[in-house]
């Protein structure tokens, strides 16, 4: 397994709090002096002009995020990836290759992005941090991720 700086892979359905948690975590880690880069799914799709939400389009987008994360990790960056990434098998494959800390965020709260939900989403089954963002302040999530990723 290739090692580098940790890759914090935040996954979950749209509206669960991935980007919110990722941005807060990035700011917190930067304040603590860590070199950090964040890959957000919406930004990645805009950058690559990938509007293909088919299974093949989603896989291509996930693999692109993985390649970017792996490159930056090997350059010494703590990488935060906040994407839906619905395919469990693809996330597991990546975790087997490198230093990935998977964080599964979910909520029961209606946040207005439910129409973007992926019917094919497979929640993680092992080696991940489970974060219910329904009634949890983002600061609690940041602390939990830092502890899980060994970045305290």
Question: What secondary structure does DSSP assign to 60-73, as a single string?
Answer: HHHHHHHHHHHHHH
Report the mean per-residue pLDDT for the chain: 91
pLDDT 10s digits, 42-83: 788 777 766 677 888 889 889 999 999 999 999 999 999 999
Tell me phi and psi for residue 81, to 5 degrees. -115, 125
Q: Is the pLDDT of residue 5 over 60?
A: yes
CA pair distance 57, 8, nearest whole angstrom: 22
pTM, full prediction: 0.91
Which pLDDT belongs to residue 12?
Answer: 95
**Residue 96, both tokens:** 């087997």
pLDDT: which is higher, 84 or 47? 84
* Average pLDDT of the segment spanning 93-120: 87
**Phi first, then psi: what are they for 124, rounded to 5°?**
-60, 155
pLDDT grade for 39, boundaries at 50, 70 and 90: very high
Burial zone of 133 (CB within 10 Å; 0-12 exposed, 13-18 middle, 19+ buried): buried
**What integer pLDDT is reported at residue 50 of this predicted model?**
63
Nearest CA to 62 out of 36, 89, 35, 37 is that of 89
Whether pLDDT at 30 is above 80 = yes
**Placement of tokens 């497979």 in the chain:** 122
Q: Inform me whether the pLDDT recorded for 1 exceeds 60.
A: no
Between CA 84 and CA 127 the distance in angstroms is 18
Q: Are 99 and 73 in contact (CB under 8 A)?
A: yes
Alpha carbon 114 to its chain centroid, in Å, reads 18
Taking only the tens place, the pLDDT of each residue in 121-137 is: 999 999 999 999 999 99
Which of 51-60, 94-103, 136-145 shows the lowest mean pLDDT across its residues? 51-60
CATH of 7-148, one of 2.30.42.10, 3.40.50.300, 3.30.1230.10, 3.30.420.40: 3.40.50.300
């Amino acid at each position: 397994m290739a090692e580098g700086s940790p890759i914090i892979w935040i996954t979950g359905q749209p509206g669960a709090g991935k980007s919110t948690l990722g941005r807060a975590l990035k700011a917190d880690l930067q304040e603590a002096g860590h070199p950090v880069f964040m890959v957000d799914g919406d930004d990645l799709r805009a950058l690559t002009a990938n509007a293909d939400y088919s299974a093949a389009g989603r896989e291509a987008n996930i693999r692109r995020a993985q390649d970017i994360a792996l490159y930056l990790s090997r350059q010494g960056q703590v990488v935060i990836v906040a994407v839906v990434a619905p395919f469990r098998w693809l996330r597991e494959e990546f975790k087997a290759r490198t230093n990935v800390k998977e964080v599964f965020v979910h909520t029961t709260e209606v946040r207005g992005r439910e129409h973007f939900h992926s019917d094919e989403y497979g929640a993680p089954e092992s080696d991940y941090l489970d974060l219910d963002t329904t009634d949890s302040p983002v600061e609690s999530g940041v602390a939990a991720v830092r502890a899980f990723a060994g970045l305290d």
